[in-house]
Amino acid sequence: MSETHGATSRAVRTESVLRHELFIYALEGLAEYRDLMIEIGSHVDAGDIQAVTSELTLAECLAKPFADGRAAWAEVYEQALQDSPSLRVAPVTREVLIAAAGLRGAHRIGLADAIHLATAIAEECTVFLTNDSRLAAVSQLQVILLPQLQP
């Protein structure tokens, strides 16, 4: 394992929440983050990282393929965003929604972001992986931005 791989695995420890944009980067191959997403995916597949995402991620990822009439991409997302040994797709429960409302009020963030953060807290995640720097102000868990993981 290279030093970059080891650093990523250490930075994104055990339980990590992955926001919707990370799935888009990984599945559609955004050039800027392609290598990093492949690396993170390999750690998830190997069990080094236990990934969690909210069911809300599916709705967020499907919006653009549906708008563009790309049914095949919608199917790709539906297949990728299912519970597996390395990925937990957590339900949006009443408790998560109540916690999200509290986070929205405290941090003035959007509802979707608050639901993702509340899911991370409810699932006892240690890391919240995102590309949205506005979420770094939330202190209830460690927020890591993708650029922090790049060499």
- Containing structural domain, residue 112: 3-149
Do 40 and 16 touch, CB atoms closer than 8 A?
no
**Within the chain, which residues score under 50 in pLDDT?**
1-13
Distance (Å, rounded) from C-alpha 126 to C-alpha 113?
17
Q: How many distinct structural domains can be found in the chain?
A: 1
| Ramachandran region, residue 74 (left: φ > 0; alpha: ψ -120 to 50; beta: rest) | alpha
- Mean pLDDT score across all residues of the chain: 84
Bridge partners of residue 144, in order along the sequence: 129
Provide the 3-class DSSP secondary structure of residue 102.
helix
Distance (Å, rounded) from C-alpha 136 to C-alpha 15?
17
Query: CATH number of the domain that 138 lies in?
Result: 3.40.50.1010
12 secondary structure, DSSP code: S
pLDDT for 111: 96
Instruction: Give first-to-last CA distance, the chain, whole Å.
Output: 15
Quote the strand ranges of 9-118, DSSP E.
Answer: 15-18, 50-54, 87-90
The tokens for 134 are 């506005």
pLDDT for 4: 41
- How distant is the alpha carbon of residue 33 from its chain centre? 14
